[in-house]
Amino acid sequence: HEVRAVISRLRRRILAASEAEDLTLGQSTALARVARETETPATAAGVTTSVLAAAEGVRHQSMTTTVAALAARGLVVRAPDPE
């Protein structure tokens, strides 16, 4: 029951933050994933849309739409994958 309670609290916090910033839940979770994936110097260069999609369990096309919306708001910066 503890895990369920923690997940429930986390979900409520994400939803509250989403509403405050006018973000969808998908945008909020993608933004949180970008923050986690780029928090070390080794990963500061960024994360690909494919990696985000796989991590969030969504189609690449869906994540592309989500990232485009975040970029339009200035919350992420899109750049070509250097590899």
Inside any domain, residue 13? yes
Inside any domain, residue 37? yes
Inside any domain, residue 82? no
DSSP for 35-74?
HHHTSSGGGTT---HHHHHHHHT--HHHHHHHHHHHHHTT
Inside any domain, residue 29? yes
Confidence of residue 3 (pLDDT cuts 50, 70, 90): low
The percentage of the chain sitting over the pLDDT mark of 90, rounded to a whole number, equals 24
Q: Compute φ and ψ for 82, nearest 5 degrees.
A: -70, -10
How many folded domains does the chain comprise? 1
Residues of the domain holding 9: 2-72
Confidence of residue 55 (pLDDT cuts 50, 70, 90): very high
Within 10 Å of residue 29's Cβ, how many Cβ atoms? 19
Torsion angle in degrees (nearest 10) through CA of 14, 75, 72, 53: -60
Inside any domain, residue 78? no
Inside any domain, residue 23? yes
Global model pTM greater than 0.75: no
pLDDT tens readout for residues 18-54: 666 788 888 988 988 888 777 766 555 678 999 999 9
Residue where the block lists tokens 């989500």: 66
pLDDT at position 66, please?
A: 95
